A and B are shown apart, each in its own frame.
Chain A
């Protein structure tokens, strides 16, 4: 549980990074 609390402050940045990956994937496949 302590590990989860340690990750929480960085979670928004990880999520944003994955959003960029998703966007790039969409451009490559659907454009």
Chain B
């Protein structure tokens, strides 16, 4: 057994390094290079710590944008959500980028960010196109409608911040609730979380890599007829209505595209609440959804809005691309390490931070706070 564990430790890193060098590094360097190119093409110079980003109107070092993308992408992908819901308030309140251009800029981050996780989860076999298709079709509809709400109902800073605050309160509340739920299921001895911890514990006891998921697991489609999809994962089965997936994808898409976030913060609690889908399965739907929704949202902001109403809200391309380069690395790291991280404590912490930020935004809408947020 000892020899087996040593073989495992000895063979795993080179394949990981090969995967990183072959898949991730070219993607990260490509997006970073695009960021520099976009800065010169859009503005004719490189904004950063000394010269303000023209559309954002703020100075921020490029390394800080890459770092923001990394930590937001890493921490949020571990709990199955996109970086946008964390990066947006940070961009608005810490980096002080509050004008309407912040929406498509964050949408650019949420579009590129999950690619790292997409490759990672696909390799981990946390992947099922049948589960992703209907929710993504809904996302296309939402991505076409959301930007019109941004330029009408949410065109001013105050209502927009208020709407972001509500989204953050919801996201934070759900993360805290999910953390308590995960803890209960783990201690009750039922459900996937309990299996996850039992497997990790037994593997650790044998001196093996303490991953909570068996390596040969995959999300399999058992049936997709009669408007319902039946999937299986680790001996548990779920029957999901395709129409429900489409309508949920569309509703979440409208809100998310209006704010400039990925939508995982709403999609995860809805699917977890209605069908009891665990995080290890949900990522197969949420990651492709966030990519599709963000792409359609960006297209609507850049092409459809100017064509229909003559209003263009261009993204700060370089900003979004720099943040995305860090985000791709972060979300890939999350895909590789999610199975080692205890979900509940991280959810509690992220939920607490997100919820408090949301409460402050909502509070500031009604009674202005004595400090700048």
B75 touches A15 (CB 8 A): yes
- Residues of B bordering A, CB below 8 Å: 9-10, 12-13, 58-60, 64, 67-68, 70-72, 74-75, 78, 90, 94-96, 209-210, 337, 340-342, 345-346, 349-350, 353
Complex Cα spacing A15 to B346, Å:
11
Kindly list chain A residues whose C-beta atoms are within 8 Å of the C-beta of B60: 26, 30
Report whether B75 and A9 are in contact in the complex, using a CB–CB cutoff of 8 Å.
no
Complex contacts, B78 vs chain A, CB 8 Å: 12
- Determine whether the beta carbon of B67 is less than 8 Å from that of A22: yes
Size of chain A's interface in residues, with CB distance under 8 A? 18
Asked if A9 contacts B94 (CB within 8 A), the reply is no
Determine the residue in chain B with the shortest Cβ distance to A17.
Answer: B71
Q: Give the docked Cα–Cα distance between A19 and B76 (Å).
A: 13
Question: B58, B70, B340: which contacts A8 (Cβ < 8 A)?
Answer: B340
The residue of chain A having its C-beta at the shortest distance from the C-beta of B75 within the complex is A12
- The interface centre, meaning the residue of A12, A13, A19 with most chain B CB atoms within 10 A of its CB, is A12
Contact flag A9-B342 (CB < 8 Å), given A16-B349, A22-B64: yes
Shortest Cβ distance from residue A23 to the other chain B in the assembled complex, whole angstroms: 5
Q: A12-B346, A23-B94 are in contact. Are A1 and B13 (CB under 8 A)?
A: yes
Known: A5-B210, A22-B67. A12 touches B90 (CB 8 A): no
Interchain CB contact under 8 A, B210 and A16: no
Complex alpha-carbon distance, A1 and B96, angstroms: 41
- CB-CB under 8 A from B353, the residues of chain A are 16
A2: B residues at CB distance < 8 A? 9
- CB of A9 within 8 A of CB of B341, answer yes
Contact residues, A1-31 vs B (CB, 8 A): 1-2, 5, 8-9, 11-13, 15-16, 18-19, 22-23, 26-27, 30-31
A15 touches B90 (CB 8 A): no
Sample of 14 A–B contacts (CB below 8 Å): A1-B13, A9-B341, A12-B78, A12-B346, A13-B349, A15-B71, A15-B74, A16-B71, A22-B64, A22-B68, A26-B60, A26-B64, A26-B95, A27-B94
